[in-house]
Amino acid sequence: AQTVTQSQPEMSVQEAETVTLSCTYDTSESDYYLFWYKQPPSRQMILVIRQEAYKQQNATENRFSVNFQKAAKSFSLKISDSQLGDAAMYFCAYSPYNAGNNRKLIWGLGTSLAVNP
């Protein structure tokens, strides 16, 4: 069974600094997708970034980028120039490429990120 592990329950960063959140996963599949979702205090689940496993190039979305290491089954999120609005719970999630009828995501337990002014 696929699993997603986020080993850092809490992290903090100074405003304008860079922080990296860790995620590892376990799967026997060769094709899959990985995601980072952000959940601010409003509780809304917001997609931050996604990565297709067949792509070697790391995904980037503005200040957010990932370090995808397929062989190591590692998928870390780097937030550059951290802003106060980045404070949230961050979830790593996995989905198989051929999900069939169910597009279920497998979720990590989250990392709570605090941004200090």
Partner 1 sequence: EAQVTQNPRYLITVTGKKLTVTCSQNMNHEYMSWYRQDPGLGLRQIYYSMNVEVTDKGDVPEGYKVSRKEKRNFPLILESPSPNQTSLYFCASSNRGSGANVLTFGAGSRLTVL
The reply on whether position 107 binds partner 1 by CB under 8 A is: yes
Decide if 94 contacts 5 (C-beta within 8 A): no
* Amino acid found at 113: L
Q: Which is nearer to partner 1, 9 or 12 (CB)?
A: 9
Which residue from 110, 111, 113, 115 is in contact with partner 1, where contact means CB under 8 A? Answer: 110
Q: How far is Cα 48 from Cα 61, in angstroms, rounded to an integer?
A: 8
Minimum distance between the CB of residue 76 and partner 1, rounded to whole angstroms? 18
Among 22, 13, 16, CA closest to 74: 22
**Footprint of partner 1 on 12-71 (CB under 8 A):** 33, 35, 42-47, 50, 52
